[in-house]
Chain A
Amino acid sequence: MNRLRLATTWLDGCSGCHMSLLDLDEALLDILAGVEMVYGPLVDVKDFPARADVTLVEGAVGSEADRRHILEIRERTGILVSFGDCAVTANVPAMRNRFPVEAVIARAYVDNADRHPAAGDGAAAERPAFAFTGVPRLCPTARPVHEFVPVDVFVPGCPPAAAVIAWLLTELVAGRTPEIGGRSRFGA
């Protein structure tokens, strides 16, 4: 029998949804026995594989890198799962959306930094817009995953409980598309 090719990833999230997956504890070993982990934070595979049966996506889309990543994942994934409140609603990352992204950056890197060696240190006093190079650009707002790609399964929760994740994976391994219904709720 072909084992389920499972990928997981995190975008703009806190890793809490992945930690809840680890909270399956020893039951995780049984689940891992039934799947092939083809991509995810615990394995050393660097490229998203050509094909995954299921991908769990944690986190909102907050940067250009997230956006590119989710488009590629959608192309290569059978069942895409919006995994946790940040993926489903943009949740905590979206709290920045009421401020211009420049103001969010300025708070951390201009107001709350006292040295700007690359910009010439005098620049700090004049409060310049701090320009990054070589790191992915932040999107103007953090948005839920389904605004970028079609999502097959939504699993709310911050994070979803380990028991819900166990049920979800069991359904997926059995070849069914899970109906979450009332099993998890926002903020649960």
Chain B
Amino acid sequence: MGDRITIEPVTRIEGHGIITIDLDDEGGVRDARFQVTQFRGFEKLTEGRPFYEMPAITERICGICPVSHALASGRAGDAILGVHPPETAVLLRRLCNCGAFIQSHALSFFYLSAPDLLLGMDADPARRNIVGLVAAHPDLVRDGIRLRQFGQQVIEMVGGRRIHPAWVVPGGVDAALSGEHREAIRRMLPEALAIITRTLALFKQALGDFSAEIETFARFPSLYMGMVDGDGKLDHVQGRLRIIDATGGIVADAIDPVDYRQHIGEAAEPWSYLKFPYYRPLGYPDGLYRVGPAARLNVCNGCGTPLADREWAEFRSLERGPVSSSFHNHYARLIEILYGIETIGELVAQPALTGARIRALAQPNFPEGVGCVEAPRGTLIHHYRVDDNGLMTWANLIVATGHNNLAMNRGVLQVAHRFITAAEVPEGALNRLEAVIRAFDPCLSCSTHAIGRMPLVVRLRRPDGSILREISRS
């Protein structure tokens, strides 16, 4: 047994996490782990609540993607009622989802990752943040703020408020969209489109500077999972699950979310509050798969909107098979923002969007329901059981960051192998360890239904737990 390095906490991610690195006797990296350190217990704490309260309760799992939780919950509720939401409700859910993707991806790219991408992985940690970025790239920061604001405003106009709108309900949605708000959204589109166009150009220009990161940020073959429509195009809200292998071959397709448990198992390890979902046919831990922006662009046959499709084709030409470096999640996020903006353009052109029929009413007709959507970070599954009165008796939630847990752990190990030895733990290496995790944009508030942060200390520990060396960043 050798020594152990700990990075605590991982900063600029949405949640609590620690990186631990075990060294072997020669000072090389033996193992690396990403540990999630908080847990909130939504699967249990919702017990006894009426199922129609679930969208509002589960939104409080995460302030970054409350809309995704509300949509998954609403769909599980649709199944318990046994109804199809009216056409207008489906269109409005899609519209709100586009706003949610745009704001969340903008947060991830501009607020959390741009400091690494534009100031550099080795930049002074004291200014490697959004404030430092304001000084160096004020226009870019303003673009990021405006784009996030656009997404949040769409949510607000459709759902009534920006964070935790109590608007998705089992059977549909709670309020129709006014013609005025439709117009207001339409008017905001050109600016959003201009911002994402120049950001994509800037990002592609900078790609050459990150070849080492692209090589090592969780670049390995794996399975990928995401939701697609009947034609294999992106479908975040109403699609079915598709799983592909490392060569791009489809191993499972058109999976009805109701059957998710035939495909996905969940392992629990005592050193992390985040469980490890795996693809059942391959077992644990070999059934490693990835979800999220790059995975979605890997599994689909195209986005389904013209500008995004062009970018998608360019993205897919990066590698011969599926794009395997998780670094490219950044790229994929920008393409999905473009897709979201184009999709909003299509939605606001549809007359049915402002229809009055927005909710199908029924009593609970079925004791169980599964709702599945693509959240910004990947596939989100809500699975509920209710009693005869519609009170929750059991819930299971699998969120994007969970699906990616095995892959994040392998990614951390890959970076550690490349950049760390016992003799040397350079500051830039520490940041890269965190950055590989940031590339997955893990939402730890979602994943363990918890969030938070703690200080970074790197500890070289002897097997008996005594500290050999301690490195602090401040």
Do A and B come from the same complex? yes
User: Which residues from chain A sit less than 8 Å from chain B, CB to CB?
Assistant: 9-20, 22-23, 25-26, 28-29, 32, 37, 41-48, 59, 62-63, 65-66, 69, 91-93, 95-96, 99, 103-105, 107-119, 130-136, 138, 142, 158-159, 162
Closest 6 CB pairs of A and B: A16-B63, A46-B456, A115-B267, A104-B41, A46-B455, A95-B45
Within 8 A of A (CB), among B443-474: 445, 450-457, 472-474
A16/B66 in contact, CB under 8 A: yes
Within the complex, which residue of A32, A96, A114, A158 is in contact with B40, where a contact is CB–CB below 8 Å? Answer: A96
- Report the minimum CB–CB distance from B32 to chain A (whole Å): 14
Q: In the bound complex, what is the Cα–Cα distance between A111 and B445 (angstroms)? A: 21
A-contact 0/1 string along B8-42, CB 8 Å cutoff: 11011011100010000000000000011111110
Interface residue B125 (Cβ < 8 Å from any Cβ of A): yes
Q: In the bound complex, what is the Cα–Cα distance between A26 and B128 (angstroms)? A: 20
B45/A96 in contact, CB under 8 A: yes
A-contact 0/1 string along B49-77, CB 8 Å cutoff: 00000000100111110100000000000
B91-99, B269-277, B301-309 - the one binding chain A: B269-277
- Report the minimum CB–CB distance from B326 to chain A (whole Å): 21
Q: Given that A44-B125, A46-B455 are known contacts, is A19 also in contact with B131, CB under 8 Å in the complex?
A: no
B14/A15 in contact, CB under 8 A: yes
B60/A16 in contact, CB under 8 A: yes
Chain A hits for B272, CB < 8 A = 135
A158/B454 in contact, CB under 8 A: no
Chain A hits for B141, CB < 8 A = 29
Interface residue B350 (Cβ < 8 Å from any Cβ of A): no
A159/B11 in contact, CB under 8 A: no
Interface size class of B (residues with CB under 8 A): 35 or more
The chain B residue with its CB closest to the CB of A159 is B163
Chain B hits for A18, CB < 8 A = 63
Q: Is the interface of A mostly helix, strand, loop or mixed?
A: mixed
B134/A119 in contact, CB under 8 A: no
Chain A hits for B148, CB < 8 A = 22, 25
A69/B275 in contact, CB under 8 A: no
A104/B64 in contact, CB under 8 A: no
Chain A hits for B146, CB < 8 A = 25-26
- Report the minimum CB–CB distance from B109 to chain A (whole Å): 14
The chain A residue with its CB closest to the CB of B272 is A135
Q: In the bound complex, what is the Cα–Cα distance between A32 and B141 (angstroms)? A: 13
Within the complex, which residue of B46, B266, B269 is in contact with A118, where a contact is CB–CB below 8 Å? Answer: B269
A-contact 0/1 string along B149-192, CB 8 Å cutoff: 10010000000001110000000000000000000000000000
- Report the minimum CB–CB distance from A58 to chain B (whole Å): 8
Chain A hits for B394, CB < 8 A = 107, 111
A43/B145 in contact, CB under 8 A: no
Chain A hits for B276, CB < 8 A = 115
Interface residue B258 (Cβ < 8 Å from any Cβ of A): no
Interface residue B315 (Cβ < 8 Å from any Cβ of A): no
Chain A hits for B268, CB < 8 A = 108-110, 113, 115-116, 130
Q: In the bound complex, what is the Cα–Cα distance between A91 and B63 (angstroms)? A: 14
- Report the minimum CB–CB distance from A38 to chain B (whole Å): 10
The chain A residue with its CB closest to the CB of B9 is A46
Q: Given that A96-B44, A105-B41 are known contacts, is A22 also in contact with B60, CB under 8 Å in the complex?
A: no
Interface residue B284 (Cβ < 8 Å from any Cβ of A): yes
Pick the most buried of B130, B275, B431, B453: most chain A CB atoms within 10 A of its CB: B453
Within the complex, which residue of A41, A65, A109, A159 is in contact with B164, where a contact is CB–CB below 8 Å? Answer: A159
